[in-house]
């Protein structure tokens, strides 16, 4: 029986030799010819995205491991924050980059849960790959995942508990802040940081409107001291000092002129020039400049200001005249800081000296210089501002890496507290919510008769990957731990049971105060499902007008 075989076109072939002298054939454009399309392409996309998800899986939970990220310049970052890890990784694959966008979306919208959402997306893609191998079409899988996600999100509403949130009763807000900080580098000072996060949010929150203005919370840091030395300042800190060393270090009952115009005489326009040919002309120019400086200082003093904060610099003569006229000044203050000072002190930013009036001055109880031990570093602290809502968190740490990680941890914690102020319903952490939703989705899948039931069961299995990753990272037996907790949840009908990561001896997350805001958990489920659907629907990648193979 003869068998017909199609021979490859070798007209463009090149014969080459390897290091052992054996010949082999290179066929030109072979890469383009063997490129996969359709289902094969979907599989390759899933594998690319899953690889990235597996990288951050080990960073999940309070016992999650940290990653060292080295930038092209050699800067080192040590973190277990999912959004930071993914944003600093060099990822070439276009599909895998979607996971970076996923963690960024979670970070922007919710602020916490960036690792969890990527791990869940990776698990969904892994389950989808198994179903594709069985011959189920990607669109059918995506539809089933959508249905399952809807069931899970609805179920979260039924298992959520409402917790009282008020300025007087801060207990629940502190519990949520502690849960968020439990997996961070700052966990040794997490009581202090939890209090800072809650105080910062309550200082700027409008509880009637359930709104928190993040613009009023500034986070700053300075190397030196310990994490425990970090504090919340009801006011603004700027990394500047007085323009002259002999100016007073502390000003009480400050009236602040906030200027965006420079302390210097008007200059000729660029198309004009000024020629000075004699000493008399130079002296006349000098006198003119001096008179202009005095005129500017008089305008500021007439308005009633006893402190000048200027966006631009001024020369030594202006600095000397400010000192002589007993008018303390700060120069080269950046635009964002100028805006923050204006908001905090209820002042107006003034672009011309002629526009300065007493009504436009900002007011603050105290303005003082903050010194750091024996170093020359100084920062300016503006406290007891007219707008008491503006606050600054001032972080101390032994090195820049610790401070950067503390800033990231505090950002997550502040976001969690903010979410509780917006919506005071919570679900329980430690994988408890995921296990409960997985049980519910499996029950609903049994009621379906079509192909969707396979995708729904796969969604339930993907939800199980979160508690399994938590157990694995905590040194527990993942499958055994998950099976035990799941059977307990079903028997006792108790959705609060989760993975005891820290070995406290109980699986009841309510007792351990491990809570997550409901809106954060819902967002995780929805974002991960949407991303999975997006990847399942891609069957080819086109770069610069050409299809890209894998």
Catalytic residues: 81, 114-115, 412
For residue 531, the cross-strand partners are none
Query: Interior CA angle at 374 toward 369 and 379, to 5°?
Result: 25
Give the pair of three-digit tokens for residue 522.
């819902």
Query: Interior CA angle at 281 toward 279 and 284, to 5°?
Result: 110
Q: Would you state the torsion angle of the CA atoms of residues 116, 104, 65, 487, taken in this order, to the nearest 10 degrees?
A: 0
Residues 21, 202: Cα–Cα separation, whole Å: 75
Residues 421, 192: Cα–Cα separation, whole Å: 20
Burial class (CB in 10 A: 0-12, 13-18, 19+), 333: buried
What are the φ and ψ backbone dihedral angles of 402, each rounded to 5 degrees?
A: -65, -45
Q: Name the DSSP letter for residue 289.
A: H
Pairing of strands 378-385, 541-543: unpaired
Residues 267, 272: Cα–Cα separation, whole Å: 10
Closest C-alpha to 389, from 434, 453, 346, 331: 346
Give the pair of three-digit tokens for residue 348.
């107006």
CA dihedral over 34, 39, 45, 46, signed as positive or negative? negative
Q: Are 344 and 236 in contact (CB under 8 A)?
A: yes
Question: What residues contact 304, with CB distance under 8 A and at least 6 apart?
Answer: 255, 358, 361
The H or E element containing residue 181 is: helix 171-181
């Amino acid at each position: 029986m003869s068998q017909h075989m199609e021979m490859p076109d070798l007209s463009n072939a090149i014969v080459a030799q390897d290091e052992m002298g054996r010949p082999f054939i290179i066929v030109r454009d072979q890469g383009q010819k063997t490129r996969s399309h359709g289902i094969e392409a979907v599989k390759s996309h899933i594998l690319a995205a899953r690889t990235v998800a597996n990288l951050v899986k080990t960073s999940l939970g309070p016992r999650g491991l940290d990653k060292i990220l080295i930038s092209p310049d050699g800067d080192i970052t040590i973190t277990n924050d999912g959004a930071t890890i993914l944003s600093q990784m060099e990822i070439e694959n276009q599909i895998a980059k979607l996971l970076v966008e996923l963690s960024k979306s979670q970070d922007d919208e919710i602020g916490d849960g960036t690792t969890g959402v990527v791990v869940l997306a990776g698990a969904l893609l892994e389950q989808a790959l198994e179903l594709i191998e069985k011959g189920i079409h990607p669109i059918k899988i995506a539809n089933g995942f959508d249905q399952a996600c809807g069931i899970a999100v609805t179920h979260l509403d039924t298992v959520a508990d409402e917790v009282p949130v008020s300025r007087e009763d801060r207990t629940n807000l502190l519990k949520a802040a502690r849960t968020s900080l439990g997996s961070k580098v700052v966990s040794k000072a997490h009581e202090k940081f939890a209090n800072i996060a809650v105080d910062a949010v309550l200082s700027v929150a409008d509880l009637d409107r359930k709104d928190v203005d993040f613009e009023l919370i500034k986070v700053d840091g300075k190397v030196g001291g310990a994490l425990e030395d970090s504090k919340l300042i009801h006011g603004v800190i700027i990394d500047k000092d007085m323009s002259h060393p002999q100016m007073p270090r502390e000003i009480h009952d400050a009236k602040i002129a906030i200027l965006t115009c420079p302390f210097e005489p008007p200059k000729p326009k660029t198309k004009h020039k000024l020629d000075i040919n004699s000493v008399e002309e130079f002296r006349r120019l000098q006198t003119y400049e001096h008179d202009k400086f005095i005129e500017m200082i008089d305008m500021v003093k007439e308005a009633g200001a006893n402190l000048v904060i200027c966006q631009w610099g001024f020369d030594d003569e202006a600095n000397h005249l400010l000192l002589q006229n007993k008018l303390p000044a700060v120069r080269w203050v950046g635009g964002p800081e100028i805006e923050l000072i204006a908001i905090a002190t209820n002042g107006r930013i003034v672009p011309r000296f002629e526009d300065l009036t007493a009504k436009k001055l900002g007011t603050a109880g105290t303005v003082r210089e903050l010194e750091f031990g024996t170093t020359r570093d100084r920062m300016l602290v503006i406290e007891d501002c007219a707008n008491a809502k503006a606050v600054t968190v001032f972080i101390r740490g032994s090195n820049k890496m610790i401070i950067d990680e503390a800033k990231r941890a505090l950002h997550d914690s502040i976001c969690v507290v903010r979410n509780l102020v917006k919506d005071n319903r919570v679900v329980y952490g430690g994988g408890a919510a995921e296990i409960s939703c997985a049980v519910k989705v499996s029950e609903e899948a049994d009621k379906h008769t079509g192909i969707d039931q396979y995708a729904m069961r796969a969604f339930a299995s993907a939800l199980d990957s979160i508690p399994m990753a938590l157990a694995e990272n905590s040194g527990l037996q993942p499958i055994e731990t998950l099976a035990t907790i799941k059977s307990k949840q079903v028997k006792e009908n108790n959705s609060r049971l989760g993975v005891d990561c820290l070995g406290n001896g109980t699986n009841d997350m309510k007792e351990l105060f491990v809570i997550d805001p409901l809106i954060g958990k819902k967002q995780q489920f929805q974002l991960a499902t949407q991303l999975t659907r997006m990847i399942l629907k891609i069957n080819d990648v086109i770069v610069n007008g050409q299809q890209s193979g894998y």
